Each structure stands twice: as structure tokens, then as C-alpha cells.
Amino acid sequence: MGIISVFWLMLPAYLANPFAVFTGHGLPVDMGRSIGGKRVLGDGKTWAGLIGGICGGVLIGLLMMAIMDLTGEPLPIYCSEPHGIMLLFLISTGSLMGDLLGSFLKRRLGRERGARTPILDQYDFVIGAWAFLAIFQWGWFRENFVDDPRYLGMIAVLIITPLLHRLSNIIGFRMGQKEVPW
């Protein structure tokens, strides 16, 4: 149960990214700027995607809260409002900040937009989401992700995420939303 609930709570972090892919276009977050001849983040990180992704993650979480309201809470919820919305905002923003940081590091390594970069591509958003929750809501994060046996859920997330990542990118590629299948 601990493992499942960690995945459940991670849904907004997972889904914030596809929302960013669908809503992303136009003005890049780095405004086209470069450091040492390399783009700060690149054209794959846009303001529209960032905002769309955060809103999408929060929306998914609100949907989760509504479902739990109807079914009588077999799984943990994002608490009651307004705390829940704040947690959703943190996990969604953390997920996309991790994604931005991942792209920042990729550009520093000299990798072009979309270049495959194991570890960073697969875990940047997970680490971002966990970091934001741990920094700003440690008590809640510890209770729901860390305390025995929940930490097993975190380990399961680390094992399964690369597989989910691969699958979602193949789907995104087939749907014409992504330029490369990774």
C-alpha cells in the first residue's frame, strides 16, 4: 500500500511533463540567451510549457482529490484545501524546475535540444518534485514518502520511472508531439 500511494502522490509530477509538451510553444524561458556559446536552456523549454505544465499538474491533483472525495479515501489525498493546492503547486513546480535544471545541465554538457541523456532525462523531474516537497513541506513529505514503509515506494519510483519515461516518450513521438522517441 505504501508503494502504491507513493506512485499515486507522484501522478501530478509525472503528468506535469506531458502537459508541458502539449502546451509548450513560443517564447523560450531563457529568452534565447546563451552562456559561453551554449544556450542557457534551449528552445525546448518555453514559458507556455512551464505554466501549462504547472497548471496541468495542479489540475490532475484536483481531479485526484475529487476522486478520493467520492470513493472515501482508500489512498492518501493532497489534504484538504488550501494546503492541498499548495502541495500540488509545489510538486508540479518542482517537477518542471527539475526538468529545467536537467536541460541547463545538458546544455552545459554541450548536448543539443532533444539529445538523449540518460539519468538526467529520466530523473530530473522526480528529483525536482521531491526536492521542492522536502524543502518546503518536509513534515508532509516525510510522512508520505519517507517514513517506513513509504521509502520503498520511492525506491520503486526510481526503478519504474525510466520504463514509464521510455513508454511515454514513444507515445509522444507517435502522436507527433515529440521530435525524438526519448
CB of 96 to ligand CTP, least distance (A): 6
Under rule CB under 6 A, residue 56 binds ligand CTP: no
Which of residues 111 and 142 has its CB atom nearest to ligand CTP in the complex?
A: 111
Residue 40, SS3 per DSSP: coil
Which of 24, 57, 76, 128 lies at the binding interface for ligand CTP (CB under 6 A)?
24
β partners of residue 35: 38
Q: Which three cell numbers stand for residue 178?
A: 515529440
Under rule CB under 6 A, residue 60 binds ligand CTP: no
Q: Which three cell numbers stand for residue 20?
A: 508541458
Which of 12, 44, 128, 153 lies at the binding interface for ligand CTP (CB under 6 A)?
44
Total residues at interface with ligand CTP (CB under 6 A): 18
Residue 80, SS3 per DSSP: coil
Q: Which three cell numbers stand for residue 102?
A: 536537467
Chain centroid offset of residue 166 CA: 15
CB of 45 to ligand CTP, least distance (A): 4
Under rule CB under 6 A, residue 162 binds ligand CTP: no
Q: Concatenated DSSP letters for 86-151? A: HHHHHHHHHHHHHHHHHHHHHHHTTPPTT---TTHHHHHHHHHHHHHHHHH-HHHHIIIIITTTHH
Stretch touching ligand CTP by CB under 6 A, among 20-28, 75-83, 84-92, 157-165: 20-28
Under rule CB under 6 A, residue 128 binds ligand CTP: no
Binding footprint of ligand CTP on the chain (CB under 6 A): 20-21, 24, 42, 44-46, 49-50, 53, 96, 99, 103, 106, 113-115, 178
